[in-house]
Amino acid sequence: MKITYEFVTGEISEVEVDERLGGMLLDLDRQQENNDQKETRRHVSLDGMDYEGEMFASAEDTERAVEHREDMARLYSAMEALSPSQRELVKKVYFEERTFASIAREEGVGESAIRDRMKRIHKKLEKNLN
């Protein structure tokens, strides 16, 4: 049986081998091709996955996300220094987006009292954030 090999240089060589040995070599080549096919089928090109730019974040996006997370942690820590009534006022103003006037009416105080409380809260937060 003749086995043909092609070298990297493009040179082709034929070798005469025993039938049994030739059968084993052909079987090994077939198994190698099957394994290669299985391996490439399981892999996905990263370039193909990133075609819409959504699969992998850039280093800049990652850095921005880390900075945002750190800022939020600092803000939550600073919020812990506020009294429960101050935290409730912050919640009403920033999260519920209520006006000073509506909060003042609800609490039965003047709008300037709410504004003054918010000024004190801002100062306390600035002090705890720096």
Quote the pLDDT of residue 104: 94
Q: pLDDT tens, 59-101?
A: 667 888 888 899 888 888 888 889 999 999 999 998 899 999 9
Query: For residue 108, what is the domain's CATH number?
Result: 1.10.10.10
**Global pTM?**
0.50
Instruction: Categorize the per-residue pLDDT at 26 as very low, low, confident or very high, splitting at 50, 70 and 90.
Output: confident
DSSP assigned state of 113 = H
H/E run at residue 81: none
For residue 75, tell me if it sits in a domain: no
For residue 49, tell me if it sits in a domain: no
Range of the domain at 107: 80-130
Phi and psi at residue 15, in whole multiples of 5°? -125, 135
Which residues have CB under 8 Å from 84's CB, separation 6+? none
Domain count for the chain: 2
